[in-house]
Amino acid sequence: MDSLLEVSDEVATALAERRPVVALESSLITTDPSSETASLIEKAVRDTGAVPATVGVAGGRFVVGMDESVIERFATTKGIPKISARDLGSALAGGGLGATTVAGTIVIAERAGIEVFTTAGIGGVHRRAQESFDISADLLQFTRTRITVVSGGAKSILDAKLTAEYLETAGVPVFGYGTDRLPAFVVREADVPVTRVDDLAVAARTVDFHWEVNGDSTVLLTSPIAREDALDGEELERVIAEALEQADRDGVVGNAISPYLMKAVARATGGSIAAAGRSLLLSTARVAGEFAVELSAVRAGRR
């Protein structure tokens, strides 16, 4: 037994029986005024036949598979810190609540034996990283963690091309489910080519072979937002460009630029970006569940 892990009975049983499990981050719960979105994401995973495992830190342990009461506690408690991979030690030592981000979640998920994780958008190389060297911890953690991350690509305020270059250099394979272009979060695609895969059973076999020959590293399986919920890419780029110019006038530099851009985009798009993000969370959860079912079959020798 791993003394740092507190795994729910449902998740523990599924893992012991080699059934599909999908890890979910808890940081999004703390930004939602209720636990509704988290419940809907878990339902999207369950509807595919996989078991959801929302991950966080509580009481000096890694919680894998939060029940409804714990999710509600995370949703209603103010000031819960967001926990990345580098923060896990201090979060355990502190003994309080910690809402895990992408990097923090996949470290815990791998420790528990979960092979699939889903989120709406990953971190990446930030715009003007040539000056700020601002690169998300997610990318480095992908080189250290054996898991498949299902997402809608890197967040739209990031530099998609530089993010793709970093991933290529790091040897992290990136696949597009039903697309040969890298999805860009609330935008369906960026002008960045990826390897297209149209069959999740094939994707599962590909991942299994990748781990066989390349050892421990993350595989990214990207899935674009539904066309009807996507934002216009050109319009969003215009908003971001104007926000960058304003940031220069306001003297905003370094890692303060990204949150500045996020606020500017939210103001300019009103509620549409929030609705798009919610749509993407649910769609990537469904794809992750379907993929986890296929991967479970491959790993059990049934494919």
In the chain, what are the domains? 1-114 (3.40.1790.10), 115-303 (3.40.1790.10)
pLDDT band for 32, please (50, 70, 90 cuts). low
pLDDT digits (tens, 9 = 90+) for 126-148: 888 877 788 999 999 999 999 99
pLDDT digits (tens, 9 = 90+) for 68-115: 999 999 999 999 999 999 999 999 999 999 999 999 999 999 999 999
- The pLDDT, as a whole number, for residue 302 is 66
Distance between CA atoms of residues 231 and 228, nearest Å: 9
Catalytic entry in 42, 155, 189, 290: 155
pLDDT digits (tens, 9 = 90+) for 196-244: 999 999 999 999 999 999 888 899 999 999 999 999 999 999 999 998 8
Contacts of 70-76 spanning 24+ positions with Cβ under 8 A: 71/29, 71/35, 71/38, 71/39, 72/35, 73/97, 74/26, 74/29, 74/30, 74/35, 74/99, 75/29, 75/30, 75/32, 75/33, 75/34, 75/35, 75/38
Q: Residue 242 is encoded by which pair of tokens?
A: 């104007």
155 catalytic? Reply is: yes
Contact 175, 219 (CB under 8 A): yes
Mean pLDDT for the stretch of residues 19-44? 88
Distance between CA atoms of residues 275 and 268, nearest Å: 14
Report, in angstroms and rounded to the nearest whole number, the Rg of the chain calculated over CA atoms: 18
Query: pTM (2 decimals)?
Result: 0.94
25 catalytic? Reply is: yes
Catalytic entry in 25, 42, 110, 290: 25
